[in-house]
Structure 1
Amino acid sequence: MFSNLIKHFSSTIRNCRFASSSLPKYSTNFSYRQHLVSDLSHSNLIDTSVSLHGWLQYRRMNSFGVLRDHSGLIQFILPSSLKQERQILKQTPVESCVHIQGILKKRPEKDMNTDMTLGHLEIHVTDFKVINTCLPTLPVDLSKFHESDEITRLTYRYLDFRRDIMQERIRFRSEFTSKVREFLLKHSFVDIETPSLFRRTPGGAREFLVPTHIQGGGLFYALTQSPQQFKQLLMMGGFDRYFQIAKCFRDETGRHDRQPEFTQIDLELSFVSRENIFSLIEQLLTACWPDSLDNIPFPRLTFTECMSRYGTDKPDTRFALEIEHTSDKLYITSPVSLKNIKNFLADTNNIDYDDNTRKFSMNKTNDENEDLIQMGKLRLKLADLLEKEYKIELRKKRQWNFLWVTDFPLFTPMTDDKTKFESTHHPFTAPIDEHLSLISSEKHWSTIIGQHYDLVLNGYEVGGGSIRIYDSYLQRFILNDILHLPIEHLEHLLKALEYGAPPHGGIALGLDRLLALVLETEHIRDVIPFPKTSIGRDLMAHAPSQVEQSELDYYFLKIDKKN
């Protein structure tokens, strides 16, 4: 009977997507633990004394309990002779840290729990100790996945970690990054840590500034938004294969899919072509991915093709619904006739639906790019409608449609002044060889194609890189004459390019996004151990926080708040 009561608690471990059918192997080295739950599967331990440390998962009355550690669950029984221990168990709140010692026994066949990996075993306790009691009321429900809201789980993240699903995610993250390191080290890459404290970089994302008291104040570091300059400098220093599991920082609060600090798999190589990098990443992901990747090499589309067919530069190619073109209109055809479409189009401008042809149509305007973007948004919205309301499966689970997107414009007209340009990717991206001669002519700047490439997975950008500029004169001209960026911030890099810099290129893969996709989580916060909210707050530690003026005085700073 008791076995039925604890089926619920073992189901999550048993159903974890990446869990092995047998218990994984864990070590107790460098610990005074004698056994982990997973060790108990060895038949030579039956009818012997075992000792375990863990958490009280469940208790019934004063005689039965379930102990949990990160490797599994085991039922234990306190015999009637242990009256004092039974009384202690009765008063011990679940999630208390406990130690049990006893004889490992096979359970009677009628009491075996097939829903537990070790449902055929139990421990007959000879000694029971409470190491540290837990408060009787838990702020986080550890037994049901959707019981506690995200704010509560982030506030008590250390308790959230005790849930099986969180253990699985964070341990999978460790395993995945270990495989990445193993693959890259095998192929002669050098793991090099680069500084987080750097200086401001013009032309990129907003950076976090860090004040210093050096030279009487007024000076600031910037937290690196990526190791971009450092890895290029390493190429110039002769480290021709670099990688780093890099922590990056960008002040992009307010965007629901971003974190102010995130992790990327950062790579750079010398004497490399775009094709070399594509092959490297395809083999790397094949080696690390938990499912088989069959579409190797990954398909490729140019930026222009992506926009023309899908209305976005990061298309989800698991389904069609491609944009159709005539001389004056854009179309998307629904696979079925749609009813009650008025509400569906309520927030859509200039798009009509014809039930006879099942086509959504839009008149072309002078802003072709904006037209395509609108149709691209409609395409995704239509896919949601077809799956939810019409039960048409378009985006299959565990289907991995990787895609290389290439041939981006090197420069993009600025939003507020179309006569000025900014880098589409970043200012260190080289133009394609065929367009090098166009750099000197301002009228051609908008037509120049860069050697930038993005890796897209199921509609998400999961990586981006480029072949870099390695000529100092060309780099200086682009920074100064085309982008009008203050080159004094980059003199160290420009100088380094003058000392025989090799051709080089690289890529960065977003580790958090990749893990969120492969683990099918709702948000990247679910695969980051200690994430921030969308507005950059740490709910557990209440960061960021105010500091006393006396601490600011050390940096010669004073806060002048705006009303």
Structure 2
Amino acid sequence: MLRRKLINSIDLINGIRNIQRLTSGRLLTCKLKHTLIAKKSEINIEKEIKKLQDINSFTYRTHTCGELRPIHNGESVTLCGWVQYQRMSKFLLLRDSYGVVQCIVNNNQINFNDIPLESIVKINGTVSLRPTNMINSKMSTGEIEVLIDKLEVLNVADKVPFNLRDHQKPKEQLRMQHRYLDIRFPDMQKKLRTRSSMLHNMRKFLIETNGFVEVETPTLFCRTPGGAREFVVPTHYPGLFYSLVQSPQQFKQMLMAGGVDRYFQVARCYRDETTRPDRQPEFTQLDIEMSFSNLDHIITMIEQLLYKTFTKQLPNPPFKRITYAKAIENYGTDKPDISYDLRFKNVSHLFSTDDETTLSAFVLPYPAELGKLTAKYKDKIKELKQKNNVRVILNENVSKELSNDMKCHIHSIVGEKKAFILALGDRENVCTCLGEIRQQIAVLLQSRQLIEINKDIEPLWIVDFPLFTQGDNGLETCHHPFTAPHPDDLHMLESEPFKVRSLAYDIVMNGNEIGGGSVRVHNADLQEKLLQMLNIDASKLMHFINALRSGCPPHAGIALGIDRLMTIACDADSIRDVIAFPKSHEGKDPLSGAPNFITEDDKKYYHINIIK
């Protein structure tokens, strides 16, 4: 929140407020500005004064706990908040959403010994300077205290299950069971306000600068073929169910057919998938679609949006861009972390044979100073090579398993002073395996300070994804069935489908996929052809195909994962840390215990029979 960024400037702001008061409230005519580090912009002081005034409007209080400074000395104030701490029947720390202030009993008739911690109180008092030897430099309000004239208990709290002090944070499970308490921690307050501010700025960029229209679309819909598992919602119609949307994909494309032209939505999405640190069963995405736009239009617009609204400094656009094939060949993943420079080298030509067998060989070079790998890392690599069915040769075993000539050939490619890990086998499996090994080696190198990690955020676009992958039952789409094929590859659609690229694009930040999109199929015949190739029943999508046949313009779009973006913005370990009420790693709600059993009456009403 901007207010917290103004801690070093609040004395100046309060000084101006005092001058205004001394001049009978007349605003100063001079255009006084103070430079603040908030994306290196100048913020008008009068606007900041108004924000401080606005934050105390329509409320009991006259000031927040966090804004009081020596300039308020002698002022009568009304504060509201939680009792964070009390001692000696005289001192009380009062906390609200904006800070903490020390309050002292100024009236012997006031007794707060019986007020439990985290109770809500209203205090009327007078601001007073602390004695010099009592100043607390660790508190933003540490130069003053409030002498209590009147204390009113607004709500008495029961004994809370944990203390709300940052240095005594309990385990996550307990905090999630009492999330309403966890949200009171200053870091959670900051995360939620940062999230609100970023979404506000994104809306301003889209609506005010680029003419987008925010449209809400339904969450109750029919099942989308070919996508992730969806949550089903029973109805009172026997055998009929809704599905919760995994994204507004069909709706936003139909909005393009409807002439909305530029759409966006802060959308709630649902997927019945296993939870991970970067995945929740319900999540939020910034959903965007544009008519008469191509891949470069979308990418350029998103670069500007992120550059202007993301809370951390990003490089000047354009961001780096590599193909899917290059990402796999260099890093073994389509979401590479390029904050450190560990790249594969393709040495397949050194292992070529006269027969038709195709053997892929890639090496991962790294600083030789690392020495031998520990048993812990060897075990991890053993698991990875077994999972991917590839042969892996560690640097310490190279002399045993490779000839001197082969060893010299590889060193001539990676460098004489480099150690390396060699992987051989099927190309896709080799790259996948080596990509996971790369992450393990990077952690080890970083712990030994043998690798330079770029602490700046480095966004990266991945383009030219394949349109199809091989599934258990035939072709599957890499993204979704509505992704357009690359026009240069259309001639191979039926004859060599796995060589067809798509007009899809993902954006990655330091190894985290934070968004993805594509140019869409706007031609109904081509869409039906793709559905047929994917063995998807087109009759279940006739509402959508009819929209394409109605004269649908060319269009493209993208969705940015707000939860993942916020995890990066707040340096959080998991997206659970930046969501107000997240689900656990099991996909359950520790707060309410959901999902819950339903009553027999509900089962009858919804025609549900539980099979054990």
Q: How big is each residue's C-alpha offset from its partner over 1:41-78, in whole Å with a ceiling of 9 and x where there is no partner?
A: 483x4312111110112111111111111111111111
Check the 8 A contact 1:14/1:116 in 2, yes or no: no
Take 2:374 and 2:147, find their aligned partners in 1: how far apart are those partners? 67
Check the 8 A contact 2:100/2:141 in 1, yes or no: yes
Tell me, what secondary structure is at the counterpart of 2:380? coil
Change (3 A) 1:146 1:105: closer
Q: How big is each residue's C-alpha offset from its partner over 1:464-493, in whole Å with a ceiling of 9 and x where there is no partner?
A: 00000000000001101x101011221101
Q: Corresponding residue for 2:263?
A: 242
TM-fit CA distance, 1:35: 2.4
Q: Give the counterpart of 2:422 among 357, 362, 365.
A: 362
Check the 8 A contact 2:393/2:423 in 1, yes or no: no
Q: Corresponding residue for 2:212?
A: 189
Tell me, what secondary structure is at the counterpart of 2:170? coil
Q: Give the counterpart of 1:331 among 363, 378, 383.
A: 363
Q: Corresponding residue for 1:524?
A: 575
Question: Residue 454 in 1 paired to residue 506 in 2?
Answer: yes
TM-fit CA distance, 1:428: 0.4
Q: Give the counterpart of 2:57 among 14, 17, 29.
A: 29
Q: Give the counterpart of 1:118 among 130, 134, 141.
A: 141
What is the identity, as a one-letter code, of the residue corresponding to 1:127? K
- For residues 462-477 of structure 1, the aligned pairs below 5 Å read 462-477=514-529
What is the identity, as a one-letter code, of the residue corresponding to 1:331? V
Identity value in percent = 40
TM-fit CA distance, 1:39: 4.4
Q: Corresponding residue for 2:445?
A: 386
Change (3 A) 1:423 1:19: farther
What is the identity, as a one-letter code, of the residue corresponding to 1:384? V
Tell me, what secondary structure is at the counterpart of 1:337? helix
Tell me, what secondary structure is at the counterpart of 2:82? strand
What is the identity, as a one-letter code, of the residue corresponding to 2:272? D
Check the 8 A contact 2:367/2:419 in 1, yes or no: no
* TM-score normalised per structure 1: 0.91
Q: Corresponding residue for 1:347?
A: 380
Take 1:15 and 1:145, find their aligned partners in 2: how far apart are those partners? 23
Check the 8 A contact 2:262/2:290 in 1, yes or no: yes
Change (3 A) 1:363 1:520: closer
Tell me, what secondary structure is at the counterpart of 2:68? helix
Check the 8 A contact 1:354/1:360 in 2, yes or no: yes
TM-fit CA distance, 1:94: 1.9
Change (3 A) 1:264 1:540: same
Take 1:48 and 1:116, find their aligned partners in 2: how far apart are those partners? 20
Q: How big is each residue's C-alpha offset from its partner over 1:238-281, in whole Å with a ceiling of 9 and x where there is no partner?
A: 00100000000000134443111000000000000111111111
What is the identity, as a one-letter code, of the residue corresponding to 1:400? I
Question: Residue 48 in 1 paired to residue 75 in 2?
Answer: yes
Check the 8 A contact 1:210/1:222 in 2, yes or no: yes
Tell me, what secondary structure is at the counterpart of 2:330? helix
TM-fit CA distance, 1:163: 0.6
TM-fit CA distance, 1:236: 0.4
Q: Give the counterpart of 2:491 among 432, 437, 444.
A: 437
Take 1:49 and 1:557, find their aligned partners in 2: how far apart are those partners? 63
Take 1:342 and 1:63, find their aligned partners in 2: how far apart are those partners? 57
Change (3 A) 1:363 1:94: closer
Check the 8 A contact 2:116/2:157 in 1, yes or no: yes
Instruction: Please list every run of 5 or more consecutive structure 2 residues that lacks an aligned counterpart in the other structure.
Output: 11-47, 352-360, 386-390, 397-415
Q: Corresponding residue for 1:488?
A: 539
TM-fit CA distance, 1:512: 0.1
- For residues 224-263 of structure 1, the aligned pairs below 5 Å read 224-263=245-284
Q: How big is each residue's C-alpha offset from its partner over 1:71-128, in whole Å with a ceiling of 9 and x where there is no partner?
A: 111111113xx3331xx31222221111111111122222222221121111111111
60-69 vs 139-148, which moves further: 139-148
CA RMSD of aligned residues (A): 2.0
Q: Corresponding residue for 1:5?
A: none
Take 1:194 and 1:146, find their aligned partners in 2: how far apart are those partners? 43
Change (3 A) 1:318 1:48: same
What is the identity, as a one-letter code, of the residue corresponding to 2:115? T
TM-fit CA distance, 1:518: 1.2
Tell me, what secondary structure is at the counterpart of 1:153? helix
Q: How big is each residue's C-alpha offset from its partner over 1:398-447, in whole Å with a ceiling of 9 and x where there is no partner?
A: x1110000000001111x24xx20111100000111112322x3x31111
Take 2:470 and 2:486, find their aligned partners in 1: how far apart are those partners? 19
